[in-house]
Amino acid sequence: MKEIIIVIRPKKVNATKEVLTALGFPSMTAIPVLGRGKQKGIAGEVNIEYRPGILEENKSGGMKYVPKRYLSIVVSDENVEAVIEAIIKVNQTGQFGDGKIFICPVEDAIRIRTDEQGNEAIS
Amino acid sequence: MKMLKAIVRPEITDTIADALAEAGFYSMTKINAFGRGKQNGIMVGSVHYDELPKTIIMLVLEDEAVDKALKIIKYKAYTGNFGDGKIFITPVDRVMTVRTGETGL
């Protein structure tokens, strides 16, 4: 079992949900979060020519954090590739800020209603 | 790779984020959360607060960078009182960038 944690653009959440539902993985947890990546917030993400040196003068300029949506999806090992592929296909715009995918191991899952364990609990 | 989830005081998150940025760990995610610890919330006068607001700082690092980041978080989040928070370290199998589809941080 693997937990796929993705941090994506808020406006791509609906499209991602639709695709994952079509693939047969409708269950997920979504949390609105703030974050930043290698590009240091939103600075440098806009399409404007800066006067040389202006970025060095004003280091704290721009947005410190960018609003993102954090989705956590737990799937069995053999479905990981399919889910990742779908997520990348939907969320890829080619611009900075498309997000990251983290794949973490999960030891066990339990469905509280029926006490099922393991892969049955997430299928 | 390891994922660090540090549950810290909300007012101190920006200090930690700045300190981490200075050390080169710029990428991070902030999650607002509510929770309680061993002390079962807090008593203020006769009012009992069961769940206290906290912020989760989530960052994913290469194994060898973990100790350095931990040191910074521990140092900046420390006040000596109850409620300073916890840090959880979990393994991460793989990281991918959506824009390029590449594997790795």
Q: For residue range A20-39, list pLDDT tens digits in order.
A: 999 999 999 999 999 988 87
Residue A48: the pLDDT is: 62
Residue B88: the pLDDT is: 96
Cβ contact B93–A6 (<8 Å): no
Residue B90 has pLDDT above 60, yes or no: yes
Residue B75 has pLDDT above 90, yes or no: yes
Name the domain count of chain B: 1
Q: How confident is the model at residue A40 (pLDDT cuts 50, 70, 90)?
A: confident
Among candidates B28, B95, B99 on the partner chain, residue whose Cβ is nearest the Cβ of A98:
B99
**Residue bearing the bigger pLDDT, B5 or A55:** B5
**Contact residues, chain B to chain A, C-beta under 8 Å:** 3, 17, 21, 26-31, 60, 90-99, 101
Q: Which domain holds residue B19?
A: 2-91
Chain B environment of A31 (Cβ under 8 Å): 31
The CATH number that applies at residue B9 is 3.30.70.120
Please tell me what DSSP assigns to residue B25. -
B52 occurs within a structural domain: yes
- Contact between B5 and B29 (Cβ < 8 Å): no
What CA–CA distances, in Å, run from A112 to A71, A116, A119? 21, 7, 14
Cβ contact A38–B26 (<8 Å): yes
For chain A, the average pLDDT equals 86
B97 occurs within a structural domain: no
Q: Identify the weakest region by mean pLDDT among A94-98, B45-49, B86-90, B93-97.
A: A94-98
CA distance A3 to A103: 6
B100 occurs within a structural domain: no
Q: What is the chain B residue with the closest CA to A90?
A: B98
For chain B, the average pLDDT equals 92
Q: How far is B86 from chain A (nearest CA, A)?
A: 19
- Contact between A59 and B55 (Cβ < 8 Å): no
Domain ranges of chain A: 2-37+65-122
Which CATH code, of 3.30.70.120, 3.40.50.970, 3.60.110.10, 3.30.70.20, is assigned to A2-37+65-122? 3.30.70.120
Residue A105 has pLDDT above 90, yes or no: yes
Residue A44 has pLDDT above 90, yes or no: no
Residue A61 has pLDDT above 90, yes or no: no
B105 occurs within a structural domain: no
Q: What angle do CA B25, B29, B35 make, to 5 degrees?
A: 125
- Contact between A109 and A122 (Cβ < 8 Å): yes
Q: How confident is the model at residue A56 (pLDDT cuts 50, 70, 90)?
A: low
Residue A57: the pLDDT is: 63
Chain B environment of A7 (Cβ under 8 Å): 29
